[in-house]
Amino acid sequence: MNAETFTFDGRKQNSFDPNVRNFYFLPDELKVTRGEGVYLYTDEGRRFLDCSAGTFNLSLGYSHPEIVSVIQEQAEKLIHVTSKFQVDPVNALVRGLAEVAPPGLTKVHLKSSSGSDANEGAVKIAQHLSGKSDVISLFRAHLGQTIAMTQAGAAFRRKPFAFQLPGMLHVPDPDCRRCFYKQERSTCGLLCVERINDFIDYASSGKVACLIMEPITGNGGNLVAPDGYLQALKKLCEERDIILIFDEVQTGFGRTGRMFAADHFGVAPHMLTFGKGLGGSGMPIAGILTQEHLSGVPGHHINSTFGGNILSSAVAAKTLEILRRPGFLENVREVGDHIMARLRAIAPKVKFIFDVRGVGLMIGIEIVDADGKPDAKLTNHLANLAQDRGLLMRTSLYGYGNVLKIRPALVITKAQADEMLDILEPLLLEVAGVRA
């Protein structure tokens, strides 16, 4: 490997196993060997506190003992079978999901292998049953990696590809700090919702099947829907006969301190997609929750070889059981509030912190330059410095964004949160030139 090879963010990659040259994407120079809870260990014995829970999917942290036990027990019986047949783990998971789903979402579809797949399946359901074609998403949306979901995402992700699917409309996010319409929340009347009518009337084909959105943007910068926004959005959708889909792949299963972000905001969509955190310690699983009247699409239209995998379903059922235990979600809210309070206390001292926002353990720190403009370079620099000091952090928009994301495993304790902040806060103050 050439010693002068660089990664996307400009870091040199010098310490590689020779086999790494066969990777399509160059991995980080760190080689990890095991994980436990919120910690990840390298082959050299270094310990990192993972602020991102893997890829925001390790809701129970690394190698949760109950999840490891379930995997071992189920693997000895049956790992996979065609989803044509019934099996106890899948039946138990479907029953559990129906019990915790937001009001009205009574049907469970597990034949998805990823969040991207689930989102595309939800759009297919909406199009098939409505007989309409167009899809509305938000400017900063990240809905997946398939062709259609890439097309529904932000422009920088669409740019390299020649395909242009018809009927994809993008509307402004509800970003109250940087309002697209230059309004103030106290007097705006939620213009960001009202103007969607104009997009439908003048920019669509007149046949809008669905509006799909994240209640809190994941990769798009941790934007939290303001009070009243989702209620107004659902009202608009029902008035215009549009199916409202919540993408809860990142926000679902306790990330906000409630089972779903829909529960936090008190708004039940017509469909909801899920994935990531349901896998507990990293098992891949995803799916769709729908209202009764949205069932009936033939299975061959929304299917996947590994959807509803038995091993993943067994893990997911156990994960759901753990999340539902008394005090679990309350702890997520308490620790999240504690992290937010400490970050907001130092933010006025750090000139490049524009905003600290979030719900539960889905928290973002927005970074700006001296002119108040988004500063992706500094954001990536801060993430790199954090890694050097033992914190694993991710940034928004695949490194093109200006938000540091804090989304640790939901099992993080207050003491571990303080350990994280005792590293992060001095780092932020140091870079800002402020004495602690």
pLDDT digits (tens, 9 = 90+) for 254-282: 999 999 999 999 999 999 999 999 999 99
pLDDT digits (tens, 9 = 90+) for 199-223: 999 999 999 999 999 999 999 999 9
For residue 313, what are the CA distances in angstroms to 8, 96, 435?
A: 36, 11, 50
Asked if 171 and 179 count as a contact pair (C-beta separation under 8 A), the reply is no
In terms of DSSP bridges, do strands 391-392 and 403-406 run parallel, antiparallel, or are they unpaired? unpaired
Please determine, for residue 31, whether its predicted confidence score (pLDDT) is greater than 90: no
Lowest-confidence region among 192-206, 295-309, 349-363: 295-309
Counting beta carbons within 10 angstroms of the beta carbon of residue 45, is it exposed (0 to 12), middle (13 to 18) or buried (19 or more)?
exposed
Please determine, for residue 24, whether its predicted confidence score (pLDDT) is greater than 90: no
Please determine, for residue 116, whether its predicted confidence score (pLDDT) is greater than 60: yes
Domains and CATH numbers, the chain: 31-63+329-431 (3.90.1150.10), 67-323 (3.40.640.10)
* pLDDT value for 299: 84
Please determine, for residue 313, whether its predicted confidence score (pLDDT) is greater than 90: yes
* pLDDT value for 19: 67
Asked if 101 and 345 count as a contact pair (C-beta separation under 8 A), the reply is no
Q: State pTM to two decimals.
A: 0.93
Please determine, for residue 161, whether its predicted confidence score (pLDDT) is greater than 90: no
Which residues 6+ apart lie within 8 Å of 77 measured at CB? none
Q: What are phi and psi of 50, to 5 degrees?
A: -85, 110
Please determine, for residue 149, whether its predicted confidence score (pLDDT) is greater than 80: yes
Please determine, for residue 373, whether its predicted confidence score (pLDDT) is greater than 80: yes
- CA–CA dist 350, 405 (Å, integer): 17
Please determine, for residue 8, whether its predicted confidence score (pLDDT) is greater than 50: no
